[in-house]
Amino acid sequence: MWAIMHHLLPVALLLLSTACYVNCQQKLDWWQTSTIYQVYPRSFKDSNGDGIGDLKGIEQMADYFKEIGVGAVWLSPIFKSPMADFGYDISDYRQIDPAFGTLNDFKSLAKKLKSLGIKLLLDFVPNHSSDEHEWFKRSVKREKPYDDFYVWKDAKGFDQESGKPIPPNNWISVFNINPMWTWNEERRQFYLHQFLNKQPDLNYRNEDLKREMQDILTFWLSNGVDGFRVDAVPFLVEESSFRDEAYVDESKAKDMYANLNHTETMDQPETFQVIRSWRRLMDNFTDTHKTDRKVMLTEAYTDLKKTMWYYGNKTHPISQMPFNFELLTKITPQSDAITILRTVDSWLQSMPEGMWANWVIGNHDNPRVAKRFGAEMTDAFNMLVTLLPGTAVTYYGEELGMEDVFVRWDQAKDPAGIVLGKDKYLTVTRDSCRSPMQWSDAISAGFSKTSGTWLPVNPNYWHLNVENQRKAERSHLKTYKHLMQARQTATIQKGQYNGYNQGDGVFIFTRTLAGEPSYVVIMNLNTEIYRPDLSKIEIPGSPKKLYVYTSSLNSAQKRGDVVMTSGRDLELRPKASLVLTSQTVKPEPLTKSSSNRLTSLVPQTLVVMVVCHLISRLNLS
C-alpha cells in the first residue's frame, strides 16, 4: 500500500546542483566534443583466426566507430610484451607485439581512422616495464646507463636461520604480492614492483630514464597518435626514504594491500613534475608541428582531492582529463538518486577553474554495467555518462549492453585473480569483463573464425550482438546512437547542468542553453512504476510539452512521443529511463524487418476475416 501511496502523493523536489557554465562563444577542442571509445585489442576483432584480436581486425571494423558516432578510439596496450599482465608489462616501447601485428599494421590503422575523422589514443604504461625488457636485463648487470633505470635497494639484513634477505620495508604490491620487493641474486639487491614481480618499477629520479620515456612519447606522436591514456600515474615515484607504511588496522592481516595507508607509495610530489613534463612535451609537439591538440588522460585510482591534483592549474596544466572514476567506484545497485547527484556534483565542484569534466562507467578493470546494475539499467547509465557536461568514455560493448561472461578456473587468464588461487579467483578476476566483442550470431559471435578464442565468448551472443541490434526496431545500440547525436548539439556541449532529486529512486537532470533546445534526462532507479512531476523541472520557456528524444529499451515511451509537462501524466516503468527535448522529434522509421513483419500480417489478417465471416454464415444457417 505504501508503495502505491508513495508514487501518487506529491513528492518534494530537490534541486541539488547547478553547474557547468561554458562560454557560448568558446571553441571547444576535439577531445571535449568527442566520445572516447575504449578498445581492448585482444577482444575486439580477430583477423587471422588465432583467437586473439589484432590491429588488422580493428581496422576491418573501423567503420563501426563512425557508425555509432564516437570521435576517438583508445587502444589498451599493444606494445611488445611477454603478456604476464596482458600488455601492461612492456618489453619494448617502440615495437608492436606480434600477437597484434606490426608497426606497419599500426600505421595502416592510424591512416584509416584519420580518413574517418577519428582520433587515436594509445595506452602508455610508464610506471614499470617487463622484467624481460633489455633495460632491466642490463640493469641487473649494472651496465651504464641502465644500472639505475629501476628502483634497487639493499636488503635490510639477512635472516639468521634461513639466510634469506630481508626486504627494505613492509610495502605490499597492489596485487597483494607480499612483499613489494623481489630479490635478484645476480645483482644482490631487491627491486621494487608495485604490481607483479614481472613488472619492475622504473626509477624516475634517473634523468637518463626520463629522457628515454620522453623520446618514446615523441616516437608515437610522430607516428600519428593523437594522445595517450597514461596508466597508473600515482605509483610513478615513491617516498625517497623508503620508510614503512602505517597499517589501517593493526589487528587485521598485515599481508594485504588494503590494510596499508599508501602515503609512501602513491601521489608523491615528484610524480606531478614527471607528468607535467610530458604535458609540456605534447603541447610543444602540437605547436611545432601545427597539429590538432595532443591530449593526455591520466589514470589515478585515488581519492577525489588527490585526483584533482592531476589537472594541475591554468599556469601549470598537467592532464587535460584525469579519469573520473567516481561513478565507477561510488555508485552501486543500492545507490539512490541523492547519491548520484552528490557524486556528480562533487566532481563538478572540485575541478580547478577552467578544467573539463569526464565521465566513466566501465572499463577493462571492472565488471560491466549489466553485471553491476542489471541489464535493464544499461541505457540509463549510457544516458548519464554521455549527457552530463564533459567528455564521455565508453568501454567496448557497453553500447550493446554486453554482459560479463563466466570464466572457469581452467580458462583463467587474469594474473590479479590467478595469484589468489582457485577458491578466490572469481572474487577479483577481470577476465569476465574482457570477453570477445559480439558482432553477430556467427561462430564466436563474429569475433573470430575459430571457436578457440583467448577468453570464452558470452553464450548470449546468439541474440545480443551488433547485427541483431542494427536490425531491431529498438535496441541499446540505437539508443546509444541517438545519444551520440545529442552530444553534437550546442546544448550538450556547452549548456548548463541542473541536477534534481524527485523521490529517492528518481534522478533527473537538465541541460539547457539560451536559444537552443533543452534536454531532460530521467532515470527511474526504482523497482516500481514512477510518475515524475515535470511541472517542477525548470526549462527555459516553460514548454507545455516535450518530445521523447530517446528511451531505454524497457521504456513504454518511444522516440517522437509527446509528453505533457503539467502534472504527473508520464508513467515510467521500473528501471526505465528517458531523454526528453523541447524540440520536435520525428518517430524512429520502421526497420525493414519491422516493415516485413507488418506486411506479413496483412494476408494473415485477411484469412482470419474470411474464416470468421464463413463461421458466422454457418451459424446463421
In this structure, what DSSP letter does residue 440 have? -
174-210 confidence digits (pLDDT tens): 988 889 999 999 999 999 999 999 999 999 999 999 9
Cα–Cα nearest to 435, from 399, 407, 415, 409: 407
Q: Does residue 83 carry a pLDDT above 70?
A: yes
Sign of CA dihedral 280, 282, 287, 288: positive
The mean pLDDT value for 513-522 works out to: 97
List pLDDT tens digits, range 100-133: 999 999 999 999 999 999 999 999 999 999 999 9
How high is the pLDDT of residue 611? Answer: 47
Per-residue pLDDT at 519 exceeds 80: yes
Could you tell me the three cell numbers for 605? 489478417
* Residue 558, φ and ψ in degrees, nearest 5: -120, 160
Residue 600 pLDDT exceeds 50: no
Domain ranges of the chain: 30-126+209-240+269-471, 493-581
Euclidean distance between CA atoms 506 and 11, whole angstroms = 11
pLDDT at 25: 61
CATH number of 493-581: 2.60.40.1180
Residue 13 to residues 311, 337, 534, 538: CA-CA distances in angstroms?
A: 34, 12, 10, 11
Cα gap 399→332, rounded to integer Å: 20
Active-site residue list: 231, 299
If DSSP states are collapsed to H, E and C, what string results for 34-81?
CEEEEECHHHCCCCCCCCCCCHHHHHHCHHHHHHHCCCEEEECCCEEC
The whole-angstrom separation of Cα 186 and Cα 148 is 15
pLDDT band for position 7 (cuts 50, 70, 90): very low
CATH of domain 30-126+209-240+269-471: 3.20.20.80
The answer, yes or no, to whether residue 412 has pLDDT greater than 70, is yes
Model pLDDT, residue 592: 60
Q: Mean of the pLDDT values across residues 244-262?
A: 94
Share above pLDDT 70 across residues of the chain, in percent, rounded to a whole number: 91
